[in-house]
Structure 1
Amino acid sequence: MIKYSLKSCFMPSPSNQHFPLAFTAACVAMTSVTYGMGRYAYGLFLPSIGAQFDLTTFDLALIASLNAILYLVATIVASATAIHFRPRTFILLSGVTTTAGLLLAGMATSVAVATVGIVLAGIGAGILSPAMFEAIEAWLPAPWKPRAIGAVNAGAAPGIVLTGLAAYWLQSSWQQAWIVMAGIGLVVTLWHFWLIPTARLPRPASGVALPLGFSLFTRRACMPLYVSVFVYGLILSTYLTFAVDLVLSTGGMAFPMDRLFWVLLGLAGLPAMLTGAAVLRLGVRGLLAISMPACGLSYALLALAPGNQLVVLTSAILFGAASIAPGNGFLVWGISLFRERPSIGSGTVFVVLSIAIIIGPILFGIIATQICSQGFFLVMAVLSIVIIPLFPRAIFTTGRAGDQALLDNPTADF
């Protein structure tokens, strides 16, 4: 009897009252593995990886960009095909891919094998997101959708915390930490194998209001989204890839305190799981107008005083708290522009974000050698302010009234 009750609570169908909470929790767990570990751990371990394999800053930047390129390819493929498969298939595939990549990098004895593992770990996140957001849109009731998007978008934070703790406990070897993360990934993947429903997504109606085509992506309403997301991608990738290296090189922190910098960064991001409700209250514009300049301030702090430990910690807290919220706003914005195909909306956001993440580390690797790292960080701080006029005036919701307004005038300037 107890076993049956637990199963009905934690392994519900989409029609079960327990499903929204259980499914959201499951998605957050997998996001922690694929993003918090698979995508972002490289930035924390970048100095150690560079030292072990004698890599230059530009070499490390190329690995980061290659990681982003294949993540982009995975996102495009998953976005185009997610609706034709069960979400469970893609979610499990993302967990297996990330776990295999983490394990391979953790056991690598050459830079080539380590690079393959790092890149493979990053691909899992691209596989995960489109199907997950299709499922959120199809399976969750309207009041839960913004909450789930906010929680999942912030789901990397627990993974970042666990990554930092693993790195701190296993100070002697970054590879041992990656093996531990692979173990966590395996546990989460097996949990999903038992937990996630096997149901298919409902097929779209025969008369889709927003048919796929080139003109759909070149609407005037989409252009501000693309520019804003691109700048956000530059800001996100540069900080997560090179902030620890900047702090270590300028004496702001010494090993192993840089591991705690990463833990603090993740802990500060946990409250961002509640930003789904902020979209409804503030609108996308309000949320972005607050969070993007806050990210810029965290950049300015590191640029102006990277050797001051108090300033460094303040920057980590500020960036951890502020950097996740914009992604939530951009996802709601994107899905609202592609309402009939949520995976296309989320996929478009991730594609533009990925392009910026590809370019960001390369730009840093080139420009930082011409000026200084602090100068590049100051440029990022300025960009976070410059793009504010592009943010939309509409308060996007998951309700059909807002969707119909968009469909009635798909070229509207939001």
Structure 2
Amino acid sequence: MNAKKLIVVGLPMIAVTYGLSRFSYGLMLPYINETINMNQSTSGVISSLSYIAYCIAIVLAMAFSNKVTPRSIIVVAGLSSIIGLGIISISSNPVVLGLGIFMAGMSTGFSSPPYANIVSANIETRLQNQTNSWINSGTSIGTACTGAIAIIMTDSWRETYLIFMVIAIFVFIANYKLLPGHQVPEKKVTVGYSKKEWRRSIQLILASLFIGISCSAYWTFSRDFLLNIESIPTYLGECFWVIIGVAGLLGGTAGAFIDKFGVMSAYRVSVLILSTSSLILGIYPGNKITGFLSPILFGSSYIFITGVLIVWGISVFKTNPSFGLGVPFLILALGQAIGSVFSGVIADISGYYVLFIGSSMIGYVTLVFKPKIN
């Protein structure tokens, strides 16, 4: 299987599981709240369920990565997405909505690690960073697609989630037919790994945790914040998710950037831009330029930083690519789960201004970490 063919099926699956199944909640929240009245704390808790589900699923995906084929795990990811989206579309109260969000969130944890194994086994070394980065950029495609459909469907959020489910079914079928179905790693991999690898992963784990905490508020509340600011044109709020998604395509260049300038430079640039996107949203929320600039900065840097974490993680855990991808993504999601809960509480108590400025400060702190590729 060549790199282009793998990207053609892998990118849409990541788009479905991350963009449509997971991050769409923040976009659809204002519409959902018109039907299912929830306060900000409840919205934050439901958002955290997606990240908790992700953590559970990614642990399972890593645990079974050397026992079943990558395609089998991706099949589970596709089914989780389809079922979760279906439940969300028919939810009538926070409990059912939370169940759907949880199921949809499971799909993201199951989808990422298998592709790392497929890339490692099928793609020549010099193309692996770029292939992983482009597959990962599917998040941006999914986010843009979510935003575009939401604009067309306006406040018909149930029908929107049904459309997402249909898209997920087609992508599921494509992956089932085109991915290699016989590829189980020939060598058994020790789940514990060496002490040296775990020591080298400390900075990776801490960086992933704090980055997850810092960006969780943006994914959950940024659009809702802008929609409630009178000086921001309605079209900016409606196109907010599309801007994030389109800008995220720049994140697909992470692999090429790392190959040319190194992982340290890539990490620092992406952290600075990601944190600044929250800072200007908190300081200048009523400015039209902020309405354009902030989502551009966030979309491009979020996908870019996740690409950096993939390369960094695979470098640390050389014995198993799925584990190298899974560990930073697991900790990133754990940080986002923690951040979502606290974000809702902080928004209730202190407002969105304090929330986004505080989130940016946490992001800037992660500049102390120094990723290396050995």
**Do they superpose with TM above 0.5?**
yes
Q: What are the residue-to-residue correspondences of 1:3-42 with 2, within 5 Å?
A: 14=1, 19-42=2-25
Deviations 1:35-87 (A, max 9, x none): 01111000101122223111000000010112211211111111110221111
Query: Partners in 2 of 1:218 and 1:51 — Cα distance?
Result: 49
Matches within 5 A, 1:162-241: 162-204=145-187, 211-213=190-192, 216=195, 219-241=198-220
C-alpha distance in 2 between matches for 1:378 and 1:217? 37
Match of 2:306 in 1: 327
1:122 to 98, 105, 118: 105
Q: Helix, strand or coil: the match of 2:201?
A: helix
Q: Distance in 2 between matches of 1:220 and 1:93?
A: 32
Aligned-residue offset at 1:258:
2.1
Q: TM-score, normalised by structure 1?
A: 0.86
In the alignment, the residues of structure 2 paired with residue 330 and residue 319 of structure 1 have an alpha-carbon distance, to the nearest angstrom, of 16
Report the CA distance between 1:189 and its aligned residue: 0.9
Aligned residue identity for 2:19: G
Which residue in the other structure is 1:287 paired with?
Answer: 266
Work out whether residues 107 and 179 of structure 1, in 8 Å CA contact, stay in contact via their aligned partners in 2.
no
**Is the 1:268–1:317 contact (alpha carbons within 8 Å) kept by the matching residues of 2?**
yes
Paired with 2:196 and 2:231, the residues of 1 have a C-alpha distance of 44
For residue 88 of structure 2, the aligned residue among 81, 105, 129 is 105
**1:236-276 deviations in Å (ceiling 9; x for gaps):** 32211110111122335465642311111101111211221
Q: 1:185 to 1:279 in 2, by over 3 A?
A: same
**Alpha carbons 1:83, 1:343 under 8 Å: kept:** no
SS at match of 1:84: coil
**C-alpha contact (below 8 Å) 1:265/1:319 kept by paired residues:** yes
Q: How does 1:255-270 map to 2 (within 5 A)?
A: 257-270=236-249
Query: Quick one: distance in 2 between partners of 1:125 and 1:219?
Result: 24
Partner of 1:389: 368
Give the gaps of 5 or more residues in structure 1: 1-13, 397-401, 403-414
Moved more, 273-282 or 381-390: 381-390
Are the equivalent residues in 1 in contact too, given 2:48–2:338 (CA < 8 A)? yes
3-state SS of paired residue (1:83): coil
Contact residue 83 and residue 131 of structure 1 kept, 8 A = no
Amino acid at match of 2:264: R
1:85 is matched with 68
Stretches of structure 2 lacking an aligned partner (at least 5 in a row): none
Residues 24 and 148 in structure 1, CA contact (< 8 A), matched pair in contact too: yes
TM-superposed CA distance for 1:220, in Å, is 3.2
Cα distance change on mapping 1:189 and 1:160 into 2, 3 Å: same
Question: Identity across aligned pairs (percent)?
Answer: 28
Change (3 A) 1:214 1:261: same
Does residue 1:349 correspond to 2:349, yes or no? no
Deviation (angstroms), 1:300: 1.3
* Cα distance, 1:95 vs structure 2: 1.2
- C-alpha distance in structure 1 between counterparts of 2:204 and 2:3, whole Å: 29
Q: Is the 8 A contact 1:168 1:256 kept in 2?
A: no
Aligned counterparts of 2:151 and 2:69: Cα–Cα separation in 1:
38
Shift of 1:222: 1.6
Residue type of the alignment partner of 1:175: R
Q: Which residue of 2 aligns with 1:244?
A: 223
The CA deviation string for residues 144-196 of structure 1, in whole angstroms up to 9 with x for no partner, is 21011111221111111110111001113111111111111111111112211
**CA offsets 1:3-59 (integer angstroms, 9 cap, x no match):** xxxxxxxxxxx3xxxx22101221111000000111100010112222311100000
1:217 and 1:115, CA in 2 relative to 1: closer, same or farther beyond 3 A? farther
- Relative to 1, partners in 2 of residues 1:246 and 1:193: Cα closer, same or farther, differing over 3 Å? same
Match of 1:302 among 278, 281, 286: 281
Q: Which amino acid aligns with 1:111?
A: P
The aligned residue for residue 6 of structure 1 is: none
Q: What is the distance in 2 between the residues matched to 1:117 and 1:168? A: 22
RMSD: 1.8
The one-letter amino acid of 1:186's match is I
For each residue in 1:87-112, what CA deviation from the matched residue of structure 2 results, as whole angstroms up to 9, or x when unmatched?
A: 11111221121022112211223332
Structure with bigger gyration radius: 1
Correspondence 1:137 to 2:120 = yes
Whole-angstrom CA distance in 2 between matches of 1:52 and 1:101: 19
- How far apart in 2 are the matches of 1:78 and 1:382? 33
Give the structure 2 partner of residue 337 of structure 1. Answer: 316
Higher relative contact order (CA 8 A, sep 6+): 2
In structure 2, C-alpha distance between the alignment counterparts of 1:380 and 1:258, rounded to whole Å: 21
Pairs within 5 Å for 1:58-73: 58-73=41-56
Pair 1:308–1:340, CA change in 2 (3 A): same
The TM-score normalised by the length of structure 2 is 0.95
